[in-house]
Amino acid sequence: MDEIHKNILQRNRSNLVKDLDPSKLYDGLLEKGIFTQDMIDEIQSAGTRRNQARQLVQDLETRGSRAFPLFLQCLQETGQESLAELLQNGAPAATPTQVVRPVIQPLPITSPVDGNKPGKDVEKPEIPSSSPPGGGKPRPGPGRGYKMDASPCGYCLIINNMEFEPHSMLKNRKGSNIDCEKLERRFKTLNFVVEVRTNLRQKQIKHELLTLSKKDHSQYDCCVVIMLSHGTEVNHNRFPGAVYGVDGQYVPVQHITNYLNGQHCPSLQGKPKLFFIQACGGDERDMGFEVSPDEVEPSSGGMDDQTDAIPMSSSSDSLSMSDEPDARPTLPTPSDILVSYSTFPGYVSWRETQSGSWYVQTLDCILEENAATVDLVTMLMMVNNEVSQNSAKGLYKQMPGSFNFLRKLLYFRTQT
């Protein structure tokens, strides 16, 4: 879309979200080729009329140069002439043209005890009432950590794509069943209700996520989604990457997280939503860089290593980089979400056919040894360090990482 048309949409976003009726537009948008059926399904899954309108306008900005005039035509054909006239004249919305946003300062990384000394390893104070089961270091005091004592703690959905349809041109993922079994057992130990779905197409992945979002999570404290599949790199505005269905069609990680955010799943508002993605973020292979011998521990990895890489795709349904000025005074939409990736965006992720992926093997071991005493973010940093020591075929490296929007420390409750 031309920049001038994007600017008109952005200036009038408040009026569009307030007055637009998306349900009247879907047939025309599909008929005129502005959106695909999958994109319309995604917009409809956004929930309320306002949320659908907001999503529609964001996605419209990602379409081609003909999208804007055809959108105006759809508005006129569906009796929404006032909005069409507003956009056609290029007039600013009735709200102020300059949106003053607050300056958000990042929180300092501090120890749970001493907020003035970042990174210092300080012994936590004794808090007998919040000590974890089975001993270990005490949990943080009230308000400093998420409530994680519901029994069960919450749902854990594992989607394990191993066998891909021939027309997808994607190889089968040998060893993924080992990853799945490890994580199913691990999260049952962490007191989650685990549901495993195998070899799903794109629409089936979306259906499972939508079903999970419609469950009543009010009696639970957390929700976990684990994706084991091939992946690729796509355009994004918060969470990079996409995960493939066995039919060769992908779902962006951005959309996977949207199903459970504060807007679309009210019963999970204020509760941690955790996403673990074992898939490639692209097709680049990291050969690392030289360091002194005392900085590197012995590495593992053999000739049987495979990747979950698919070359970068251009996401036709990626979200716009711009935000809307009609946000309400609530928690930010991505708050309480953590996405842990098996590899840095753009790079391949390695998997051994006999023992599973580096990332899942390491994650499972770290959780087994530390979940009773160490918070999740610290454990993921330990996973990063362990995986970074490996070498595939004696040459290639891998670096996991996380996009962390959690607001508090998270300690799992292990079963005794």
Per the model's pLDDT, the better-predicted residue between 148 and 135 turns out to be 148
Catalytic member of 5, 217, 230, 255: 230
Residue 100: what pLDDT?
A: 46
C-alpha 109/C-alpha 115 separation (Å) is 8
- Residues 6 or more apart from 242 whose CB is under 8 A from it? 231, 232, 233, 234, 250, 251, 252, 253, 313, 315
Q: How many percent of the chain have pLDDT more than 70?
A: 68
- Residues 6 or more apart from 260 whose CB is under 8 A from it? 209, 212, 213, 223, 225, 268, 273, 337
Beta strands 250-252 and 356-357, pairing class = unpaired
Is there a contact between 130 and 138 (Cβ–Cβ < 8 Å)?
yes
Instruction: Taking each helix axis as running N to C, give the angle between helix 3-11 and helix 67-77, from 0 to 180 degrees, rounded to the nearest 10.
Output: 40
Is 139 a residue whose pLDDT tops 70?
Answer: no
Averaged pLDDT for residues 174-185: 92
Is 187 a residue whose pLDDT tops 70?
Answer: yes
The average confidence (pLDDT) of the chain is: 77
Is there a contact between 31 and 24 (Cβ–Cβ < 8 Å)?
no
Indicate if 153 belongs to the active site: no
The tokens for 79 are 């009796």
Closest CA to 58 of 333, 293, 245: 333
Angle at 43 between CA 39 and CA 48, to 5 degrees: 170
Instruction: Say which range, 18-27, 48-57, 94-103, 321-330, has the weakest mean pLDDT.
Output: 321-330
Per the model's pLDDT, the better-predicted residue between 308 and 155 turns out to be 155
Residue 153: what pLDDT?
A: 97
Pick left, alpha or beta for residue 393 (phi over 0 → left; psi -120 to 50 → alpha; otherwise beta): left
User: DSSP class of residue 389?
Assistant: T
C-alpha 299/C-alpha 397 separation (Å) is 10
Indicate if 207 belongs to the active site: no
Angle at 311 between CA 156 and CA 163, to 5 degrees: 50
Q: Confidence band (pLDDT; 50, 70, 90) for 141?
A: low
Averaged pLDDT for residues 346-360: 67
Is 143 a residue whose pLDDT tops 90?
Answer: no
Is 69 a residue whose pLDDT tops 60?
Answer: yes
Averaged pLDDT for residues 310-339: 47
Catalytic member of 74, 223, 265, 280: 280
Tell me the CA end-to-end span of the chain in Å, nearest whole number.
57
pLDDT tens, residue by residue, 243-287: 999 999 999 999 999 999 888 899 999 999 999 999 864 344 333
Reported pTM: 0.59
Is 145 a residue whose pLDDT tops 60?
Answer: yes
Which structural domains are found in the chain, ordered by start?
A: 3-88 (1.10.533.10), 143-323+330-404 (3.40.50.1460)
